[in-house]
Chain A
Amino acid sequence: MSGGNAPLVGICDYGVGNLRSVERALTEGGARALVASDPARLLECDGLVLPGVGAFVAAAAALHQRGIDDAVVETVRLGRPILGVCLGFQLLFEESDEGAGGIGLGVLPGCVHRLDRHRGKVPHVGWNQLTVRRPSALLGGLNGGEFVYFVHSYAAIPGDASDVVATADYGGELVAAVERGAVQGTQFHPEKSGAAGLRIYANFVAGCTVPVRT
């Protein structure tokens, strides 16, 4: 469990969704978790999780309204780790064609497109197996083949293919996880993906180093 030296990980709270499971998964992974919407408090954290469910445009507006967008960009600039989950992952990219189109945080190159109906049912809901594309800190200890839980109607197309660390197959290849330096993200919900997901949170927490405070 988390002690005094455990990194403090901020969970960006911008309105809706189940943040409790994210909080619990971070705690299991050895972090102290702080649910906050105040950008100043988020910037005191050693790392951030940007969770998210719902619609891209509404979420981007909610982030902006609270100033969380700036806190995320600043966290990235400072080289502190950030983990985007599901819609929070999509928001890290430059833009999405959801609704009338939306501008993302742009900390990852690429864009977000609606899943093609030819793949299968949309939303894509359920457990899918990971294929590991390259070694990464986020997926350390995972060998591929692990089942993780997806629920989404849109998918990211990274502008830099070398950011992709895992894919899944849903009527064709789907980007499941990315890592670009300290910027990490998963299209699936690791906090809903059993033991494999808890391992991912533990890996993320391990990358959130506690600065020496004097």
Chain B
Amino acid sequence: MTLAKRVIACLDVDGGRVVKGINFLDLRDAGDPAELAARYDADLADEVVFLDITASSDNREILIDAVRRTADSVFIPLTVGGGIRGLDDIDRLLRAGSDKVSLNTAVLDRPAFIEEAAAHFGDQCIVIAIDVRRAERGWTVYSHGGRRDTGRDAVEWAREAAERGAGEILLTSMDRDGTHSGYDLAITATVAAAIPIPVIASGGAGEPEHLRAVLVEGGADAALAASIFHFGAHPIPATKRYLAAAGVEVRR
């Protein structure tokens, strides 16, 4: 076989605690990102992403500590995003045990930061997160956690990010995020066809079929989801069994 499609579990972290309710009965502390990451590792998640949604400097230490504790027991790739502004921030996260960082607003403000980060740490650890909404024509990029319209065209920005040295693109449809109605296959397919680097699809997962659709029809290399795994309705092992039965190559 060739490269497996990846199933990525995302945890929204606020002040070092996982936001959104989690339902695993066997966890001692369901709000601890390290403990949840270990659980997902045991479930054969292919990667874990921590998204720091507060990203205030006060909470940085707590996040770094969570990353450190995660790296102590989790032996799959860990990506951390949210509030990363400079090379120092990246360095601290990588040293704490993160394998990749996800950059968003900082690189929209100053695109040359992509080149600087890739040159310093290697493009393999630079994930560029792009939050998009459908516009009258095409899709537009939003910054600041989806609050600010940058006016940039999503496909153009993905192409520019790849040319500047991004290792992967994490593409989130704000329209679909939280709807559980499925990924935006059109934007995913458009970006995946436009750039030579891997695309992680995000936003809208509600059932295993949504992952299959975005990995096959959407051409994504990886599918990221949060709540469908957290609430136990579609645990990762069951989701992977569904994908495998549908002919999608997954790690099992």
* A residues neighboring B (CB under 8 Å): 16-21, 24-25, 53-55, 58, 87, 117, 120-129, 147, 149, 151-153, 169-171, 189, 191-195, 197-198
Contacts and interface: CB of A to CB of B under 8 A. Distances in A.
Contacts, number: 113
B71 A21 contact: yes
B222 A122 contact: no
B99 A18 contact: yes
A171 B198 CA distance: 15
B75 A121 contact: no
A125 B167 contact: yes
B124 A18 contact: no
Contacts of A127: 3-4, 6, 46, 251
Contact of A53 (B3, B97, B121, B222): B121
Contact of A123 (B1, B96, B98, B123): B123
Contacts of A189: 77
Chain B interface extent, by class: 35 or more
Contact of B95 (A18, A58, A124, A151): A18
A153 B168 CA distance: 12
Contact of A21 (B3, B97, B120, B167): B97
A181 B167 CA distance: 34
B175 interface: no
B76 interface: yes
B41 interface: yes
A128 B68 contact: no
B89 interface: no
A55 B121 CA distance: 8
Most chain A C-beta atoms within 10 Å of own C-beta, residue among B44, B75, B98: B75
B3 A24 contact: no
B119 interface: yes
A30 to B, nearest CB: 15
Contacts of A192: 75-77, 99
Contact of A126 (B94, B125, B222): B222
A129 B167 contact: no
